[in-house]
Amino acid sequence: MTQNSGSRLEGKVAVVTGATGGIGEAIAKRFLEEGASVMLVGRSAEKLQATRNRLESNGKIAEFIADATDEKATAASIQAAVDTFGGLDILIANAGTEGRIAPIESLTVDDFESVYRTNLIGVWLAMKYAVEPLKKRGGGSIVALSSISGVIGFPTMAPYIASKHAVYGLVKTAALELAPFNVRVNAVGPAPIDNRMIRSLETQFSPDDADAAREMIMSKMPMGRYGTNEEVANLALFLASDEASYCSGSIHMIDGGFTAG
């Protein structure tokens, strides 16, 4: 899908966590095209450099290494955006992991904790350190990546499903706390998106024939296909921009109609 460059985020500063992944890179690219300065945050120096190399020609960009579960590193990543670009207007709390697929009785505490640490505590930590800089700016927008898994159940995915429901609860609470400060907080709820994460899930569902799992999942989608990273980026752009000035505290589905069923 081709996009026009514009100025919907001109002068804004954004932090994007999980910037080395499919959705994160697409969001960073879209934001750069719309005039934002973007701090890419990721846990792998090599992947961050590669992402930066791909995006550099699009605008003002910097990168910071931080594991989403590491409080000090997360705090430092937000401070780095403020120091580098002069403030913070937008946080995209996007880093996430699918975890291990297993029925409830086979899951371990580590299965649960590892998913929760990244998908829930990681999102909260990014929010925690973004609040003061956003307030200082007189307002801003936080967008957290939930999922259709934030509103429906699915067998064998308990840690992921529970973590994405929890993200929605966190977003609702943060929206109420931050509304008086003109900071809007929303969640995005994608259905399967055509990238590494759904590939990993297809393989876990059907180790001998991941393509069969793909066909099966797509057959359940009302539009008969997965979404794209770029489609999610367009929704994130809307929620981050002033066009969404009265949107806060909601989960915005981007699922080709899946949760309408």
Ligand X SMILES: NC(=O)c1ccc[n+]([C@@H]2O[C@H](COP(=O)([O-])OP(=O)(O)OC[C@H]3O[C@@H](n4cnc5c(N)ncnc54)[C@H](OP(=O)(O)O)[C@@H]3O)[C@@H](O)[C@H]2O)c1
Active site (catalytic) residues: 160
Q: Nearer to ligand X by C-beta: 116 or 137?
A: 116
CB of 74 to ligand X, least distance (A): 9
**SS3 assignment, position 118:** helix
Task: Count Cβ neighbours within 10 Å for each residue of 179-195 and write b for 16 or more, e otherwise.
Answer: eeeebbbbbbbbbbbbb
Torsion from C-alpha of 57, 61, 64, 65, nearest 10 degrees: -20
Among residues 69, 217, 96, 205, which one has the least CA distance to residue 160?
A: 96
Amino acid at site 209: D
Q: Nearer to ligand X by C-beta: 154 or 179?
A: 154
| Binding positions for ligand X, rule: CB under 6 A | 18, 20-24, 42-44, 47, 67-69, 94-97, 118, 145, 147, 190, 192-193, 195-198
Distances (CA, A) of 197 to 14, 106, 113, 132, 247: 24, 22, 19, 32, 28
On whether the CB atoms of residues 48 and 40 are closer than 8 A, the answer is yes
CB of 139 to ligand X, least distance (A): 25
Q: Nearer to ligand X by C-beta: 78 or 198?
A: 198
CB of 154 to ligand X, least distance (A): 12
Q: Nearer to ligand X by C-beta: 23 or 88?
A: 23
CB of 222 to ligand X, least distance (A): 16
